[in-house]
Chains A and B, each alone.
Chain A
């Protein structure tokens, strides 16, 4: 064995006190495995929610925003010298459609970041069946493109969405609407738009995303059908939905699109602000729990090393008498701390992985209200494991540093002479 003498001594000390070494590394092990386990669960959950938010929200949505009339033109121009005569501004009825939507689509297609782009007509509607009414909104889309973008297929619980293009007056409704109106695939439903046109449509399918707000209100129709309901022409488009190659670029790309088109571009972060806040709060809770666990593990190591040093006072004095410098003594005890950390850390990594793996196999039901979630969403993300071992070693290093420095300061003369 060609180990440094400090290392040899450190290892001998650890191996002659197996029980204490074990207890100290168990502390680190629990800290690390909890770190891995909770990080995996959190990232898995976050990823799941992020993904499911993309199942109904595009990365960027371009639309015509209703603006309040600016009554302060005079203020802006001549400041306080103006006298306001125009009071109580009202919203003008504006055309929510975009001007030259297909031109805009062609323009945006040239963005290298854009992966997918599709137009949509959205309108608030009232669904009626018998004498029950439900309010909601209808999205006029090209269902094939919609499927490519949001994977409509995986949410279908009955019927076939392709029929939307084949059946005249076809409609795809959310599970919530179907339950409230007691409707099934093949039944008829009356849809009334804000403009007052009634239209009887045939249900070609029912879907469930797991998000109640969507399932209770949203229905899909062919874009032409939707334009008909609103009594608009073929060029009437209210939204342009855009997916990017990398959704993390959504913010910057959206800002550029706003400048170029003059319409409001909302990125998915803005659209899901509550989701992001939830992520943030969850991360804070998680990190404080892990911090406390590692702190406790660190105190465990600190205690055990401190005790060891009191017990080994005489031996430290002998080592120093034989020419071990303070630095060498520090190294002996610091190494013990680091080996405890590495040992506990490695086992902790394994345990953390096994726990995460085990939980990812736990079946939590497949009711449609849960969407596609059937098992605990766990992520197996390599950097978590790297972070965990770094934290582990850092904690043990910090915990070992102070006792080790104390050992270095032992005065051999006072110890040996008693």
Chain B
């Protein structure tokens, strides 16, 4: 039996118009199967982050077609896309990007509260579990801006996992972590893909991180030069 397709991109093309029109993505087509752990690598400016934001559904200004969980998302309304992101995509940014006014626990809980599938008490319990995975449960009730950069990034990853999304996307998710924490995050990502069947797509500069993932897609000048298969 063929594995399910978690994400499929067909002929994705994107231009930047400012300051001059520039084609950043050229006819990108690829598929990611469920449970796969994919790294996208390439030189700075090759368009890998731009591609990730298109895949995340946040950027809708592109040509081509995008399917997530076998559902076409191209052309859907912004409200629909917001719901899809909330439900099926967890996003980890290059810099931690927590909400500084809230406690770490609340930061992790917010996407689940938005989804509203569980009761607040259940969400709180689950948020504690996720924080424990990354060893930051002691910081749970501190305000997010009181934490160190590494701790904030781990909280941010915990937040990305709270809704058990089908796809987790990371833009340099370990960029701000030391080697010990990078190892911890990598092991956890691998566990998520192997044991829970969650799909991971990360953009990274870390060659070691990329090498150890299931597959590495290499990009150069807005094109995929290697699908890593």
Contact = CB atoms under 8 A, between A and B. Distances in A.
A412 B58 contact: yes
B102 A323 contact: no
Nearest to B61: A413
Contacts of B120: 1-2
B97 A328 contact: no
Contact of A323 (B53, B93, B99, B111): B111
Contacts of A2: 120
Interface stretch (B25-33, B80-88, B131-139, B176-184): B80-88
A413 B101 contact: no
- Size band of the A side of the interface? 20 to 34
B13 interface: no
Nearest to A15: B101
A195 to B, nearest CB: 90
A1 B106 CA distance: 13
B78 interface: yes
A151 interface: no
A321 B85 contact: yes
B87 A323 contact: yes
Nearest to B50: A417
A323 B82 contact: yes
A321 B113 contact: no
B198 interface: no
B113 A417 contact: no
A326 B114 contact: no
Given A322-B110, A323-B111, A416 B79 contact: no
B91 interface: yes
A320 interface: yes
A325 B79 contact: yes
A388 B85 CA distance: 42
A324 interface: yes
Nearest to A416: B93
Interface string B69-104: 000000000110011111101010100011111100
A315 interface: yes
A318 B97 CA distance: 7
Contacts of A324: 82, 86, 114
A325 B97 contact: no
A413 B59 contact: yes
Give the residue among B58, B84, B91, B98 with the most A Cβ atoms within 10 A.
B58
B173 to A, nearest CB: 14
A16 B97 CA distance: 18
A12 B93 CA distance: 23
A318 B56 CA distance: 13
Contacts of A49: none
Nearest to B89: A323
A320 to B, nearest CB: 7
B118 interface: no
B101 A12 contact: yes
A309 to B, nearest CB: 14
Contacts of B159: 322
B113 A325 contact: no
B174 to A, nearest CB: 18
B115 interface: yes
Contacts of B110: 5, 9, 319, 322
Q: Which 6 pairs, one residue from A and one from B, show the smallest C-beta to C-beta distance?
A: A323-B86, A5-B113, A325-B82, A323-B85, A16-B101, A325-B79
Given A8-B106, A8-B113, A12-B102, 9 more contacts: A2-B120, A5-B113, A318-B98, A320-B58, A325-B83, A326-B78, A326-B79, A413-B58, A416-B53
